[in-house]
Amino acid sequence: MGKNVAFIFVVILAILSGCQSPPTTKVVQISAEQAKSVVQQHHKKNSNFGEAEITSIKHINNEYKVTWERKSNCESGTDYVNDKDGTITRSEASIC
């Protein structure tokens, strides 16, 4: 009877350890500097009011949160850049 209990324990242990998923790893393909460049280029071609100054860059989940301001026309905002392909996924802007 002791051998059967040990065998069942080993089988259950093998099944449970095989069901664990491996830890997920973040695959970031663009750097914070590249995200900054994407936002600067976007604002350069979409405005005649001067350069947008990047004030902060944070990597959150699967995107970069890039905060910027343009003092020449009192404009500021945040662009979210996908960390895989470098596209701007959404933007928020305000003018004072």
Is residue 69 pLDDT above 60, yes or no? yes
Q: How far apart are CA 67 and CA 69, in angstroms?
A: 7
Residue 88 has pLDDT above 90, yes or no: yes
In what order do the strands lie in the sheet containing 88-95? 53-60, 63-70, 75-82, 88-95
Global confidence as pTM: 0.70
Q: For residue 23, tell me if it sits in a domain.
A: no
Least confident of 14-23, 24-33, 67-76: 14-23
* Domain count across the chain: 1
Amino acid 30: pLDDT: 95
pLDDT in tens, 45-57: 888 888 899 999 9
> Does the pLDDT of residue 82 top 90, yes or no?
yes
CATH number at residue 37: 3.10.450
pLDDT over 70 percentage in the chain: 75
- The range of the structural domain enclosing residue 81 comes to 30-95
pLDDT score for 46: 80
